[in-house]
């Protein structure tokens, strides 16, 4: 059984996949995340007729997103992983949105943009689906107006901005395709990554793009 936790966006998502069936719960960001992570995990385990020891793998979103919620979820995941002696699979927000977006009618290339608040946007461009999972990706942080101007000046207008629960990107409406998180696709990615990577909870860390950008400016 796989447990998945995502606290990066405006709603925290907790889900388990057991015997090909998915059980999920959503938590409003304005609630006590630390308390509700525990309570909702218990609720989903009860709903799926499972116990904590049945969890064999944890997948989680390491960001970018709400930094406070991400830190809380990472501490919870590490503690749970250590207690159960199970591996952890890292995904980032770009991979989660990109995997949810992809289907038989996808358009390439594409850009994923995420509200970074303070009138800024995290964004990254991808030539194909596999690019989402490359270790060296160029994650950017820029003022929203800069990204709007970039797309208004583009000759090729078929690139699509995909995002989740963001109001700051409304100026890019004509380039945007709105999507929802597809848990079935996310669990498929987690299962594939388990076979492709070494998963140790102690090595997990958050994707904090602001910090990376600050380092580049000082180099």
**What does the pLDDT look like over 47-66, one tens digit per residue?**
999 999 999 999 999 999 88
How many helical (H) and strand (E) elements, i.e. helices and strands, does the chain have? 6, 10
> Taking the complete model, does pTM exceed 0.95, yes or no?
no
Give all domains of the chain, ordered by start, each with its CATH number: 2-93+181-208 (3.30.420.40), 94-178 (3.30.420)
**106 DSSP 8-state letter:** -
User: According to DSSP H, which parts of 17-171 are helical?
Assistant: 33-47, 67-84, 93-101, 144-152
In this prediction, residues 124-153 reach a mean pLDDT of 83
- Buried b or exposed e, range 167-195, using 16+ CB within 10 angstroms: ebbeebeebbeebebbbebbbebbeebee
In this prediction, residues 27-37 reach a mean pLDDT of 77
């Amino acid at each position: 059984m796989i447990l998945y936790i995502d606290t990066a966006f405006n709603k925290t998502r907790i889900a388990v996949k057991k015997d090909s069936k998915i059980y999920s719960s959503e938590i409003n960001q304005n609630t006590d995340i630390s308390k509700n992570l525990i309570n909702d995990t218990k609720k989903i385990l009860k709903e799926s007729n499972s116990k904590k020891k049945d969890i064999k793998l944890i997948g989680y979103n390491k960001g970018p997103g709400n930094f406070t919620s991400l830190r809380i979820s990472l501490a919870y995941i590490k503690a749970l992983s250590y207690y159960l002696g199970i591996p952890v699979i890292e995904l980032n927000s770009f991979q989660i949105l990109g995997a949810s977006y992809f289907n038989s009618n996808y358009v390439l290339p594409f850009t994923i943009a995420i509200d970074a608040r303070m009138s800024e946007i995290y964004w990254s461009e991808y030539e194909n689906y596999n690019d989402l999972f490359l270790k060296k990706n160029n994650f950017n942080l820029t003022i929203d107006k800069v990204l709007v101007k970039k797309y208004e000046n583009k000759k090729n207008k078929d690139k699509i901005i995909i995002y989740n629960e963001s109001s700051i990107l409304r100026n890019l409406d004509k380039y945007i395709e709105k999507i929802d998180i597809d848990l079935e696709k996310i669990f498929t990615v987690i299962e594939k990554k388990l076979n492709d990577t070494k998963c140790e909870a102690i090595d997990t860390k958050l994707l904090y793009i602001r910090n990376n950008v600050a380092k580049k400016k000082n180099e």
